[in-house]
Amino acid sequence: MSTTTYIVKGMTCGHCVSSVKEEVSEVAGVTSVEVDLAGGLLTVDSEGPVDRAEIAAAVEEAGYELAGQA
C-alpha cells in the first residue's frame, strides 16, 4: 500500500473536489482518493507506486493543475 499527497492548483468549490476525485479514482491501481479543498491537497492511496504523470494527467483532465508533492 502506498500513500502520496499532492498539491492541486485551481480548485475553488465542491464541484472541483468531485471532479478531481472522479478522474483520479479512474487511474489504475488507485484505491482511495481524498481532496482537501481548503489546503488544495490531494491524497492518493494505491496498491503500489503510481506514476506521477498519470495522476497529473487525471488532475488536468478534471481541469486543474498538479503543482507538486506535499
Total domains in the chain come to: 1
Q: What is the mean pLDDT of residues 57-69?
A: 97
Q: What is the mean pLDDT of residues 50-67?
A: 97
- CATH number, position 44: 3.30.70.100
What confidence tier does 13 reach under pLDDT thresholds 50, 70, 90? very high
pLDDT of residue 42: 98
The whole domain housing 10 covers 2-69
Contacts for 37-40 with beta carbons within 8 Å, 24 or more apart? 37/11, 37/12, 37/13, 40/7, 40/8, 40/9, 40/11, 40/67
What's the pTM value of the predicted model, to 2 decimals? 0.94
Q: Cell numbers of 47, please?
A: 496498491
CB 35 within 8 A of CB 42: yes
Mean pLDDT of the chain: 97
pLDDT of residue 35: 98
